[in-house]
Chains A and B, each alone.
Chain A
Amino acid sequence: MRRAKPLQIRDEALPLRVTLMVNDGPPAPTDVEVVARVLGGDGEAFGILIRRYEPGLLRFATRMLGNPDAAADAVAESLVRAYRHLAQCRDPARLRSWLYRITGNRCRSHLARRRTNDISLSEAPPLADASDSWAVLERGEQVALVERALNALPAEKREAFVLKHVEGMSYEEMAAVTGARIPTLKMRVHRAREALLAALEELV
């Protein structure tokens, strides 16, 4: 994928309008290319994939686990596992789905080992005054309220909502990530929306 900024120059001396393409730098390697390099022995190239996918995976895991430290552990474990089994990713063009699938499973394992899905009260940020309107709340307070509502969802619905509306996945990609059928995923997302709307209306 070539990144370039077109410059259109009108120069009176030139009879024609000239468009110059300025290249920002070498094109970023595709996932397929990076995977091939890693499997060829260039382990350092895996860093490209980490930088490319780590932010999204960390965000996904944080939303699933409600705890940034646990999320970091889950994502680190997932990336190491992905590296070890990279040769088994038969379709590197769909690497993103594969990475999210591994991370989703890791998160489910973490959740299963916990006694409760809720973040502990000591970890929860203080709730804003319920009499304040949404618009009055600081952004951080709004985030905390939404996080609390999200954490109250069952894990499957939470995952579906996060993949759909936070990670921006299509239902097809969500099916590849979760292994669930599309109608099932739609139902989970729909129920998650209903629960979140109700929760948001109660909290504020």
Chain B
Amino acid sequence: MRVALVLVLIAAPLAAQNGGGAASRLAGRVPPAALPAIDSLIAAAVAESLPSEPLVQKALEGSAKGVPTDRLVNGVRRSLLQLREARIIVGRAMPDQPAPEAHVAAVSAALARGLGPAIVERLLTVAPNEPPGPVLHAAADLVAHRFNPDSAADLLVEAHNKGLHGMRLLDVAVAADHELQRAGGRTHADALARVRALLPNVPTAEVPAAVTRRRTKGS
């Protein structure tokens, strides 16, 4: 079966890297009744030196989904509260410098996926000068697959110490999940032990053969 691969045009708001252009992006998309409250929440984020793009995205998402106004505003407000919590966590992990916005956004995303604050803080301290997104998502992946959070963090810390950084930490999570899925059944502890034995030579993620997999929640 030959199938042509079609790539499509994506109109991606690059200016959103700095949260710029929020007003023009929301105009005509967000219901007028919700706009003042959402503007106020975004302004609060800006004034508090929090990343505002997650709030803009949440407003656009809820509007596209047709979420009722009160729940739309609550959703954006919830995102703001999550960012504030994220900054507290980043501040505890990195007390000697202002919390970088990228770190705050990454931690907020990890909290949204259900990762606990203690695990987040621990992983932030492993490599404070590296972008925290990959290690946090790797931990969230493992927790979503019912691995013990502390054990998951132990594995990722060990992987990092053995030279696996950035996206390679996601491969560690994938490998642990694959070990769990092997025919014959494995306990979570077994799966982690096998991956630990592989470090640092964890396979790079690739298209697997047909693997039966149940749906897992990320939050």
Direct contact of A and B (CB under 8 A): yes
Which A positions have Cβ atoms within 8 angstroms of B? 81, 84-90, 98, 101-102, 104-106, 109, 179
Beta-carbon contacts of B1-24 to A below 8 Å, as 1s and 0s? 000000000000001001111111
| Chain B residues in 8 Å Cβ range of A106 | 49
Write out the residue numbers on chain B whose beta carbons fall within 8 Å of the beta carbon of A86: 20
Interface of chain A: mostly helix, strand, loop or mixed = helix
B21/A87 in contact, CB under 8 A: yes
CA distance A87 to B46 in the complex (A): 11
B23 adjacent to A88 (CB under 8 Å): yes
Q: Is A90's CB under 8 angstroms from B48's CB?
A: no
- A84–B18 touching, CB < 8 Å: yes
> Which of A88, A105, A109 is close to B22, meaning CB atoms less than 8 Å apart?
A88
Q: List 28 A-B contacts (CB under 8 A).
A: A81-B46, A84-B18, A84-B19, A84-B20, A85-B18, A85-B20, A86-B20, A87-B15, A87-B24, A88-B19, A88-B20, A88-B22, A88-B23, A88-B42, A88-B43, A88-B46, A89-B43, A90-B23, A90-B39, A90-B43, A98-B43, A98-B47, A102-B46, A104-B47, A105-B49, A106-B49, A179-B44, A179-B47
**B positions within 8 Å CB-CB of A:** 15, 18-24, 39, 42-44, 46-49, 52, 98
For residue B42, which residue of chain A has the nearest CB? Answer: A88
Which single member of B21, B23, B44, B98 contacts A109 (CB below 8 Å)? B98
- Name the residue on B nearest A103 (C-beta): B47
Q: Given A109-B98, A179-B44, does the pair A87, B49 have CB atoms closer than 8 Å?
A: no
Chain B binding site: helix, strand, loop or mixed by DSSP? Answer: helix
Say whether B24 contacts A85, CB under 8 Å: no
Complex Cα gap A86–B21 (Å):
8
In the complex formed, the residue of A with least CB distance to B20 is A87
Query: Closest Cβ of chain A: how far from B32's Cβ, in Å?
Result: 13
